[in-house]
Amino acid sequence: MKNYFLTFIGTLLISQASYAQLFYTQTGKTSFFSKTPLEDISAVNGAVSSILNTTTNDIAVRMNINQFKFPNRLMEEHFNENYLESEKYPAATFKGKIAEKIDFTKEGSYDVSVKGFMMIHGVTKEKTITGKLTVGKEGITVDSNFEIALVDYKIDVPKLVWEKIAEKIAVKNNFSLIKK
């Protein structure tokens, strides 16, 4: 898994490898929440990989869809088999660049926006995500909140259950990155 992750990210971030400052995690956390009058659905994936090149401001994220854990086993099964089709589309990715100039040598918190491409369910869309980046003694923390519209990624919800699943899903990320 680690070799696959590094190969996936390597071509994106190591083009300037001799000067690159890389920070990474393989234990990032992504959660989502769907709220409707009939049912709330939530899940967490605590095995999300991310890498940040502080020289180029490039950031990449990769997660295995089947690693989302739900409070209800049946929800997890439906998510993987019927909606995200995790056997056919096993991963979701995001590759982008932080727009703001950050001094990664100074501790502090920064509001950031990252423009890039998100791939979910085999569909790639341009997306800008805003969040908070915190430079600390132990590394860099990245937090973001955004929404995903199911229709944008061709995730079909059967008419029988459309009232139980929100059209837009709230997504939260928390990545604690350490120096590579």
Sign of torsion over alpha carbons 125, 17, 112, 92: positive
Contact 123, 150 (CB under 8 A): no
- Summarised one tens digit per residue, pLDDT across range 122-137 is 999 999 999 999 999 9
Average pLDDT over every residue of 81-98: 96
Q: Which residues pair with 138 in a beta bridge?
A: none
Residue 67 has pLDDT above 50, yes or no: yes
Looking at residue 97, what is its pLDDT? 98
Q: Which of 7-11, 35-39, 116-120 is modeled with the greatest confidence?
A: 116-120
Looking at residue 163, what is its pLDDT? 74
pLDDT band at 1 (very low <50, low <70, confident <90, very high): low
Pick from 166, 153, 86: nearest CA to 118: 153
Regarding the domain with residue range 2-179, which homologous superfamily does it belong to in the CATH classification? Lipid/polyisoprenoid-binding, YceI-like (2.40.128.110)
Contact 74, 100 (CB under 8 A): no
Q: What is the pTM of this model?
A: 0.86
Mean per-residue pLDDT over the chain, rounded: 90
Looking at residue 4, what is its pLDDT? 53
The radius of gyration computed from the CA coordinates of the chain, to the nearest angstrom, equals 17
pLDDT band at 157 (very low <50, low <70, confident <90, very high): confident
- Summarised one tens digit per residue, pLDDT across range 92-151 is 999 999 999 999 999 999 999 999 999 999 999 999 999 999 999 999 999 999 999 999
Residue 29 has pLDDT above 90, yes or no: yes
Looking at residue 3, what is its pLDDT? 53
pLDDT band at 7 (very low <50, low <70, confident <90, very high): low
Looking at residue 164, what is its pLDDT? 79
Q: Locate the domains of the chain by residue range.
A: 2-179
Average pLDDT over every residue of 21-32: 97
Specify the amino acid at residue 15. Answer: S
Specify the amino acid at residue 124. Answer: T
